[in-house]
Structure 1
Amino acid sequence: MDQKLQMLLDTVRKLIRRGAYPHITKVLAKSHPADIAHLFRYLDLKEQRILFNLLADPEISAYVLSELDHATGAQLLEQIDKETITEVLQEMPYDDAVDIIRNMPEELAEEVLQSMEVEHSEEIEELLKYDEDTAGGIMATEIFSLREEMTVREAIEAVQGAEDIEMVFYLYVTDEYNHLVGVLSLRQLLTVPPTARLKDIMTADVISVRTDIDQEEVAHLVAKYNILAIPVVDEGNKLMGIITVDDVIDVMREEATEDIYKMAGSSDEELLYGYKSFKIARLRLPWLITNLFGGVITGYLMWLFKATLEEVIALISFIPVITGMGGNVGGQSATIVVRGFATGRVDVSTMRQVFLKELRVGVIMGVVCGTTIGLVAFFWHHNPYLGLVVGLAMVTAMSVAATMGVVAPFFFKRVGVDPAIASTPFVQTANDITGILIYFGTATLFLSYLR
């Protein structure tokens, strides 16, 4: 956060503590709506409610809600009267308003929709038909399009008269039945003869998405083709809406946040629970229990090798290193693969390439770390064979861990389980188990030299 925003945040917090609400109103009146929206990210729910109630302008309230996560936005609106809720939602883009309405209690959402002007409620109800994580759920329905039979002169006049359209990245061309047939840039429109017809100068190969496609796939397409907007069509290629790059950035941020939470065995629901410890613990416990049972299995394997441990007690010195390094390497590989899935740079077709790359990396890191720990074992316990056993086990365990970090996400993706939420706990547990087996298995083979 820059110094200006930090000063604003400190001032607002201080005034909230003092209950100096008229002063807060004056401060907000002098602040840019984007700065006000940014403040909400650093306030708890109680402070957000106080600040939101002091926003007198519905347009600024709508801007703030558009920048917040939808569940929080719904909570802020629930505390005010229905007339004001309606007024604020009607100032918002329809796609953002829909996301907030989805998070409201069903009864309140129905009442708000009924109190809206017909044109707004119809648009919102149409968007509510789509799943929230699909292209239809995030598209804006305020579309500017041109008919293919128009001349360039007529098209330019139409663009000049489009006062209600917030931004025109591309000019989409439709036929008489509103089917998407082409696209134009503003530059193209201004560099051709005014009598030319749009169907003769447009680009017919339009990159578009269906209403039911997942929002993550939309983000991949926008990033792949470096476009600022992408049109949304139905199964009959009828133009239904548009998704702009700002919506795509929100999707990327949302998906990345979700994956990070999942890989930590947590959830963004924690943000809604605030300081409710039991509810937060309930979200985290399933994955900790997974690791708990993995630890029990690891302990059982060590018990099976108790004879080897009794013969060479020095082996116990390096158990944490073997299991710890394997878990770290596997976690790194799993993170890279899951991130690759999220960005679209890794898929099932590239598994072999990714597997071999991570195997090579694992072997290189294993040799370096194995040599290091082998020398430590030799100088510590003055036994060259112990150094050899520890070094070999480290090389093997890290190589296996690196490949495990690749195989696990691919496996979970293939069977329909989210690799972000399942890979890390599985990889950590599996690498602990394989690390112990490799370490004590190698030690048992060299047992006669270690005595």
Structure 2
Amino acid sequence: MAINDLTIQPSEPARLPDKEPLGKDVSREAVVSGQSKSDARLVSIQRLLRRGAITNLAKMLARMHPADIANVIDHLSSLKEKREIFELVRGDVKRGQVLSELDGESITLVLSDLLPSDAAWLLKDLGSDDIAHILSVIPNDRAKDILALMRTEDSTEIADLLKYPKGTAGGIMTTEFFALSEDATAQEAIRRLQQATDAEMVFYIYVTDKDDRLVGVLSLRQLLTVPPATPLKNIMTRDLISVAVDMDQEEVSRQVASYNLLAIPVVERDGKLVGIITVDDVVDVIREEATEDMLKMAGAIEEDSMFKSSSMVAARVRLPWLFTNLVGSLLSGMLLWLFRYTIQEVVAIVSFIPVIAAMGGNVGLQSSTLIIRGLATGMVELTDVWKIFFREAKIAFLMGIACSLMLTIVGWLWHQVFLGMVVGVSLITAFLVSTSMATVMPIVLKRMGVDPAVAAGPFVTTANDITGIAIYLTLATIFLEQIR
């Protein structure tokens, strides 16, 4: 739908007066209502859409950043509303920027009604990495049609990027970087920099040999503080950080964070420089990977978390994790049946079974979450296993002492002193065992090449529930005569 088709003439009653709040008034509305700025903005746009205030909408969108417009479109529930807002964005350059900020589903919906030629025109001013991302989320046939209509040099570059697997350095890099030969002089480098209009971001100047292999890097400051005739090979830093095209994007983000880089070069196996990954892309990767880990720990998927998958798909993905809990609960029930004679002798034992199970499971989940997050961010290495193990065990013991003293007193006042002591000792033991399991399991899985995030959530909690109940009932059976 073209924007002209949406424009309402001044004589039509649907148009709102100019006093309708625009972009700069949204933050004030948000403060008054207690909403976040983005929430208030979304509410304002939805209200304007309902009233058909197209002129006011266009003015509001003109004042907004492309990322904010994309956020609004992503959160609109109606396909018609998504398309309408996108069409109201003025200027093909800005519309292309909005497109690059949308999520995969919104990109597909927005482009579904556009001719391939119109879509290619919107993408022409975007970076090659952004175009590759957009084409990777739409149907292959449509992506090929759009790619065929782009300039030959651009389409070849983008097609090369699309060959790299998703989630790798090659899949998120841009090929629009600034590199010079090691024999070039500082004066020539400055002149070339002034002419460089297509480079992504010139944070660093990469230096290559005659075979385009990366051999060094230098900063703009280094370039400006040497005599003009100085060759780059005399001032470049040879000890540089780079990543391979097939490196996992999560490891790339760790490298950038560890060395405080604004960009990191990407090389082929033979050392040939093929692209760079800038810090803005790394921020996106960190967010995606953190979200992915949290969803795995909950037994969910990204589409489910964003309410994008069907109910059947979401249920199918969640069921295996629920079956884990179901099997664990049945095992807990079997334990209660095995110790039924102990429970019959002292019914008061039942009072503390939920406490032991819940506390043990929660303590284990705390430890596993910390370990998994540490492994994901690089703060925890596999060589740290024993140091971490003893630290977490010490923490569990201290927490166990504090909680067991409280439970001992409660057990004494509620039933009798020896039962309180059994409960207290059981809790300390359950804490130590749960923490040990939750600390070691993610590290063992990491050594085996399995994502440690799958060890948390339902699995760790269920395993620790069973362990806690077994410890408590075993101790109660051993000291049955004293607690009767």
Specify whether residues 374 and 79 from structure 1 end up closer, same or farther in structure 2 by C-alpha distance, changes over 3 A only.
Answer: farther
Contact 2:127 2:200 in 1 (8 A): no
- Between the aligned partners of 1:100 and 1:302, the Cα distance in structure 2 is 55
Task: Pick which of 404-413 and 32-41 moved more.
Answer: 32-41
Once the two structures are TM-superposed, the CA of residue 279 in structure 1 deviates from its matched residue by: 2.9
Q: Percent identity?
A: 49
For the residue of structure 2 that corresponds to 1:146, the secondary structure is: strand
1:102 maps to what in 2? 136
1:444 maps to what in 2? 477
Once the two structures are TM-superposed, the CA of residue 182 in structure 1 deviates from its matched residue by: 0.8
- Whether 1:9 and 2:42 are equivalent positions in the alignment is yes
- Whether 1:23 and 2:56 are equivalent positions in the alignment is yes
Specify whether residues 173 and 336 from structure 1 end up closer, same or farther in structure 2 by C-alpha distance, changes over 3 A only.
Answer: same
1:384 maps to what in 2? 417
Contact 1:99 1:132 in 2 (8 A): no
- Between the aligned partners of 1:271 and 1:427, the Cα distance in structure 2 is 21
- Whether 1:193 and 2:222 are equivalent positions in the alignment is no
Once the two structures are TM-superposed, the CA of residue 387 in structure 1 deviates from its matched residue by: 0.5
Task: Pick which of 243-252 and 33-42 moved more.
Answer: 33-42
Specify whether residues 248 and 45 from structure 1 end up closer, same or farther in structure 2 by C-alpha distance, changes over 3 A only.
Answer: farther
- Whether 1:399 and 2:445 are equivalent positions in the alignment is no
Deviations 1:125-181 (A, max 9, x none): 000111111111100100111111111111111111112224210111111221111
Contact 1:74 1:101 in 2 (8 A): no
Once the two structures are TM-superposed, the CA of residue 366 in structure 1 deviates from its matched residue by: 0.7
* Residue 418 of structure 1, aligned match among 445, 448, 451: 451
- Between the aligned partners of 2:151 and 2:198, the Cα distance in structure 1 is 17
- Between the aligned partners of 2:369 and 2:78, the Cα distance in structure 1 is 32
Deviations 1:40-93 (A, max 9, x none): 354335343332233342322222232233343233322322222222232322
Contact 2:174 2:200 in 1 (8 A): no
Specify whether residues 220 and 282 from structure 1 end up closer, same or farther in structure 2 by C-alpha distance, changes over 3 A only.
Answer: same
Task: Pick which of 87-96 and 146-155 moved more.
Answer: 87-96
- Between the aligned partners of 1:272 and 1:424, the Cα distance in structure 2 is 19
- Whether 1:82 and 2:116 are equivalent positions in the alignment is yes
For the residue of structure 1 that corresponds to 2:207, the secondary structure is: strand
For the residue of structure 1 that corresponds to 2:362, the secondary structure is: helix
Q: What TM-score does the superposition give when structure 2 sets the normalisation length?
A: 0.89
Once the two structures are TM-superposed, the CA of residue 275 in structure 1 deviates from its matched residue by: 7.7
1:67 maps to what in 2? 101
* Residue 287 of structure 1, aligned match among 285, 305, 321: 321
- Between the aligned partners of 1:180 and 1:45, the Cα distance in structure 2 is 49
Deviations 1:1-54 (A, max 9, x none): 953544432220112223433432232123232332333354335343332233
- Between the aligned partners of 1:108 and 1:56, the Cα distance in structure 2 is 25
Specify whether residues 40 and 421 from structure 1 end up closer, same or farther in structure 2 by C-alpha distance, changes over 3 A only.
Answer: farther
Specify whether residues 447 and 223 from structure 1 end up closer, same or farther in structure 2 by C-alpha distance, changes over 3 A only.
Answer: same
2:406 maps to what in 1? 372
Task: Name stretches of at least 5 consecutive residues in structure 1 with no aligned partner.
Answer: none
Read off the aligned partner of 2:477 and give its amino acid letter: T
- Whether 1:122 and 2:156 are equivalent positions in the alignment is yes
Q: What TM-score does the superposition give when structure 1 sets the normalisation length?
A: 0.95
Specify whether residues 242 and 366 from structure 1 end up closer, same or farther in structure 2 by C-alpha distance, changes over 3 A only.
Answer: same
Read off the aligned partner of 2:245 and give its amino acid letter: T
Contact 2:73 2:106 in 1 (8 A): no
Once the two structures are TM-superposed, the CA of residue 370 in structure 1 deviates from its matched residue by: 0.9
- Between the aligned partners of 2:182 and 2:260, the Cα distance in structure 1 is 25
Deviations 1:175-223 (A, max 9, x none): 1221111111111111111121111111111111111111111111111
* Residue 263 of structure 2, aligned match among 222, 229, 239: 229
For the residue of structure 1 that corresponds to 2:449, the secondary structure is: coil
1:57 maps to what in 2? 91
- Between the aligned partners of 1:179 and 1:203, the Cα distance in structure 2 is 14
- Between the aligned partners of 1:21 and 1:276, the Cα distance in structure 2 is 33
The number of residue pairs the alignment matches comes to 450
- Whether 1:91 and 2:128 are equivalent positions in the alignment is no
Task: Pick which of 174-183 and 59-68 moved more.
Answer: 59-68
For the residue of structure 1 that corresponds to 2:456, the secondary structure is: helix
Contact 1:363 1:395 in 2 (8 A): yes
- Between the aligned partners of 1:45 and 1:256, the Cα distance in structure 2 is 29
Specify whether residues 311 and 415 from structure 1 end up closer, same or farther in structure 2 by C-alpha distance, changes over 3 A only.
Answer: same
Deviations 1:309-339 (A, max 9, x none): 0001001111111000011001111110110
Contact 1:363 1:398 in 2 (8 A): yes
- Between the aligned partners of 1:13 and 1:60, the Cα distance in structure 2 is 21
- Between the aligned partners of 2:454 and 2:185, the Cα distance in structure 1 is 54
Read off the aligned partner of 1:447 and give its amino acid letter: L
Deviations 1:81-124 (A, max 9, x none): 22222222323221122122122112212222222221221111
- Between the aligned partners of 2:442 and 2:82, the Cα distance in structure 1 is 39
For the residue of structure 2 that corresponds to 1:110, the secondary structure is: helix
- Between the aligned partners of 2:303 and 2:39, the Cα distance in structure 1 is 27
For the residue of structure 2 that corresponds to 1:184, the secondary structure is: strand
* Residue 216 of structure 1, aligned match among 243, 250, 273: 250
Contact 1:412 1:423 in 2 (8 A): no
2:349 maps to what in 1? 315
Alignment RMSD, CA only?
1.8
Specify whether residues 257 and 272 from structure 1 end up closer, same or farther in structure 2 by C-alpha distance, changes over 3 A only.
Answer: closer
1:304 maps to what in 2? 338
Task: Name stretches of at least 5 consecutive residues in structure 2 with no aligned partner.
Answer: 1-25, 31-36
Read off the aligned partner of 2:175 and give its amino acid letter: T
1:277 maps to what in 2? 311
